[in-house]
Structure 1
């Protein structure tokens, strides 16, 4: 299944990228710009493009809104990112740059039409004196359904300080500005074709890291790219992209299967023709020029919500096909998802049986009818494994079906198991470490009504364990213990390519489905290997797909 997302699903994913991240506000107050106190790392850092001045908190430095590419405006709209124009003097880096253009709605309280958005943020530990360019670097690609989000709301101080790493969070073009393919645009871009602006933005940010991160205390030879949801998809695509080779040394893909399939160039260009028609650019002699003159908001509203495009030189083949052919970046990989991934989306997506989203009062009969509409004469086999009365409600039973192998497929547990197998089967590949986040007491992204069900580990619930304060209630002491272990795993992996380290439970390299590291509270089973394929009936779902 290609990851073209229905608008309700894409907008819910968007709230992970920006809106929910802002609910709890920011971190500790930062010192006003100025000279750093004696013995502290400098607040003025010289990059290849010019000097920037950041801010200092008690335990970390933060530099925000640093441009890594030229503003993609005017004739640069839709084109590959261009170099930054160097500046004289010292540029202030104490406020975030603008989010890339996105629409405001019930899932996203923020809107932007500012195309001058290709900036990044750098968080480092304090006390780096005498340590020039030796810390591991982690580059975060935000989620948001490919249509929203930004890098700056993700407070990276816990990763940076507790993990002793430098963290970079980035923006990239979204929606049509990042993913629109169209024949006239493809002709202008040559081998790159079109639809790859977002992919190339992410690579431009990684090239900025390669050139500049040593000045902030980071080691450009030890770079981990990581991301969740659309950001996890981005990590998977970068693993397959020939133009990303050598730009990172480890990869962490969270909550998006690396075997997801995307539109090919011809399909994406046909979608681009529809967008061009919707904004009044069809039939002209220069469609590309017309598209560059359309107002940002009009373009955003015409966008159907597609993602990466396969066919240009930056992504010539489907990632899954690249992995099967042994063509992926030879870097260690962490890949995983949450136990109840699709619980977030089941109430949003139309039922096959009715064409409308389910209500919270879905009955057992309606649940059985939906299984019949989906699975025909094998619906009884599904019902035997997921009986309505085994769950707090029929809607929660349907959510369990969706989380294991249902809709959207690219977020399901069994699709992630397929990806673990595909990544680890690459001949001569470096290690793959698989995980599943299982804390069902974690605060949900959105409190959908599941009567009688206390909670679940839905899409995005692991994020506050890595980035504090994203949404929901503060972590409990027991959750803080799990968070501390996850931070150690993620940052140890960034440093060594292996998540195992002193003081953490052992994590086996992935060789079969029993090697998935469960991440849960001590009172609910703790941390250790679980056979998620058996638990989620993946062999059954595979037989159903092959019937």
Structure 2
């Protein structure tokens, strides 16, 4: 949270809790590259030198500002360059996380508006190399209202894959996706922050041993939706060269009453005019309803006044309909209007179990009748009959597992495959499904009877980042996944030494199933296994009016 003038004083955040929930030219290098001193390696960035830390096989440079603090009069302005600094800036600890509410704990806002920082992890040693390393830029998840870059430790990717990894903070909730007529619409500050970070990478990657001409953007959940938006955004042209989309496709959507009886349809991308209208109504509720000077009034408010659960979640949808994101991203993909870069995309097998587990007590599915009622409420009576035929409750251990399977296929897996088909008409496209149903639960959520989490949303993350211990077979899977991901970043071909080949998505939809064990990595027909013909016909997402 920030002080009364929005100056950005950091308030201690619940790092332990949030970590569980939630993840640049050779000649110049000779003069200005990384140098190791007794206190850590020093790298000269375009804003000034930074001193990192070495941890054996890798080095980290944390809390590097990639833009000026968006505080005070800069609140709800596009990111501006950070000021230069004198002397060597310490980069041994992360910068403040962006203002947000605790996820699993009660309490008020944590973090700071002064939060536009990134973290660099690179293999240890001199930055001067005959061949610079690929750069992977990570956009964290959290629904666009929580999360941070420093929650994800990418040392496995950096060391095993010999890549430079950059994790990024971006403004969240009402600070990142607010719109208002005085702003001229809904500029999408969160995505603008991410673009500013990518421009920083283009200017500075060489200094860390990275290749600014080989940048992969990757992200999970809201981070994946961000990657999708950059694929469709003319403003992001030339800022990246490959993309990995994890559990958040351009077509992701959830039907009404999927998780709570009174919940509407969830669509992560909305017309900018809707966001602008919401902003005008919010300003009025906050006492800033006036003929002019609304933004001045809102910028004078304390961050804590703005960081309410209602406003943080109300402004967690990505607006489209202006020059930076002209078209709803899934429609842009269908029309072939996206950046021509190789793409890997996928889901976990049991995505929706994580979300259903958080609402099942309030909206239970105790028996077959409750399952049928929920199906009819979400999809209508006619489609519900087809859904019950394809997903009979008797085929599952509990009605809750049956419903979670329905939602996973309808909201995540089949929309991802639709996007993959659209992408695959123009660029090399690879699909995966994370299948380890014994993956460690690092969420901190209490167990829910009748609904084991399995391979739930986000459960692939410990296989790419250092988040929680893995059993030995899972460690081997993690090594192979790191190999696939970093090989894709290096060449556009996801190959791993000694691992099965990863085919193009193609028709039928060939997904690479990722699970531990001798035969755990194999190719499966995603469309057939997840009834995508049914969903394409009966519920292909929701057609938002332009």
* TM-score category of the 2 structures, normalised to the smaller one: 0.7 to 0.9
CA distance 1:108–1:196, change in 2 (3 Å): farther
Counterpart in the other structure of 1:226: 218
CA distance 1:163–1:110, change in 2 (3 Å): farther
| Aligned mates of 1:540, 1:507 — CA distance in 2 | 26
Counterpart in the other structure of 2:423: 423
| Aligned mates of 1:69, 1:275 — CA distance in 2 | 27
The 8 Å contact of residues 178 and 315 in structure 2, kept in 1 or not, is answered as no
- Match runs of 1:297-312 below 5 Å: 297-301=304-308, 302-303=310-311, 304-312=314-322
Return the offset for 1:463. Answer: 0.1
* 2:60 paired with 1:55: no
The 8 Å contact of residues 353 and 451 in structure 2, kept in 1 or not, is answered as no
Structure 1 counterpart of 2:503, from 508, 513, 519: 508
Secondary structure at the aligned position of 2:509 is classed as: helix
The 8 Å contact of residues 357 and 451 in structure 2, kept in 1 or not, is answered as no
| Aligned mates of 1:293, 1:83 — CA distance in 2 | 23
| Aligned mates of 1:293, 1:398 — CA distance in 2 | 46
Secondary structure at the aligned position of 2:61 is classed as: strand
- Match runs of 1:44-443 below 5 Å: 44-106=42-104, 111-128=109-126, 130-131=128-129, 134-186=132-184, 193-260=185-252, 262-301=269-308, 302-303=310-311, 304-349=314-359, 357-359=362-364, 362-374=366-378, 375-405=380-410, 409=411, 412-425=412-425, 429-443=426-440
Return the offset for 1:225. Answer: 0.5
| Aligned mates of 1:247, 1:234 — CA distance in 2 | 14
1:273-296: CA deviations, max 9, x gaps?
A: 122122211234211111211211
The 8 Å contact of residues 19 and 107 in structure 1, kept in 2 or not, is answered as no
Return the offset for 1:520. Answer: 1.3
CA distance 1:21–1:507, change in 2 (3 Å): farther
User: Unpaired runs of 5+ in structure 2?
Assistant: 1-13, 24-33, 253-266, 542-546
Identify which range, 209-218 or 339-348, moves more after superposition.
Answer: 339-348
1:148-192: CA deviations, max 9, x gaps?
A: 111011001111001100000000011011100110011xxxxxx
| Aligned mates of 1:219, 1:18 — CA distance in 2 | 32
| Aligned mates of 1:125, 1:546 — CA distance in 2 | 44
1:125-149: CA deviations, max 9, x gaps?
A: 1133542770110000001110011
| Aligned mates of 2:352, 2:72 — CA distance in 1 | 39
Counterpart in the other structure of 2:483: 488
Secondary structure at the aligned position of 2:420 is classed as: helix
| Aligned mates of 1:437, 1:443 — CA distance in 2 | 13
| Aligned mates of 2:40, 2:529 — CA distance in 1 | 51
CA distance 1:20–1:227, change in 2 (3 Å): farther
The 8 Å contact of residues 146 and 230 in structure 1, kept in 2 or not, is answered as yes
1:202-231: CA deviations, max 9, x gaps?
A: 000000000011011111111101000000
| Aligned mates of 2:186, 2:450 — CA distance in 1 | 48
Secondary structure at the aligned position of 2:62 is classed as: strand
1:245-297: CA deviations, max 9, x gaps?
A: 00011110100012346111211111111221222112342111112112112
1:20-67: CA deviations, max 9, x gaps?
A: 55349x9xxxxxxx98369xx971110011010111111111100000
Return the offset for 1:380. Answer: 3.1
1:276-324: CA deviations, max 9, x gaps?
A: 1222112342111112112112112151243211122111111122222
Counterpart in the other structure of 2:9: none
1:404-445: CA deviations, max 9, x gaps?
A: 11xxx3xx21111111112112xxx22111111111111233
| Aligned mates of 1:43, 1:110 — CA distance in 2 | 38
| Aligned mates of 1:542, 1:166 — CA distance in 2 | 39
CA distance 1:546–1:467, change in 2 (3 Å): closer
CA distance 1:439–1:145, change in 2 (3 Å): same
User: Unpaired runs of 5+ in structure 1?
Assistant: 1-16, 27-33, 187-192, 351-355
Secondary structure at the aligned position of 2:119 is classed as: strand
Return the offset for 1:348. Answer: 3.7
Return the offset for 1:196. Answer: 1.3
Return the offset for 1:387. Answer: 2.1
| Aligned mates of 2:354, 2:50 — CA distance in 1 | 40
| Aligned mates of 1:546, 1:174 — CA distance in 2 | 29
Identify which range, 495-504 or 66-75, moves more after superposition.
Answer: 495-504
| Aligned mates of 1:378, 1:122 — CA distance in 2 | 48
Say how many residue pairs are matched: 498
Counterpart in the other structure of 2:523: 529
Q: TM-score, normalised by structure 1?
A: 0.86
| Aligned mates of 1:443, 1:310 — CA distance in 2 | 37
Return the offset for 1:450. Answer: 4.5
The 8 Å contact of residues 436 and 514 in structure 2, kept in 1 or not, is answered as yes
* 2:486 paired with 1:479: no
Structure 2 counterpart of 1:499, from 494, 497, 503: 494
* 2:534 paired with 1:540: yes
The 8 Å contact of residues 388 and 394 in structure 1, kept in 2 or not, is answered as yes
The 8 Å contact of residues 227 and 253 in structure 1, kept in 2 or not, is answered as yes
| Aligned mates of 1:533, 1:277 — CA distance in 2 | 47
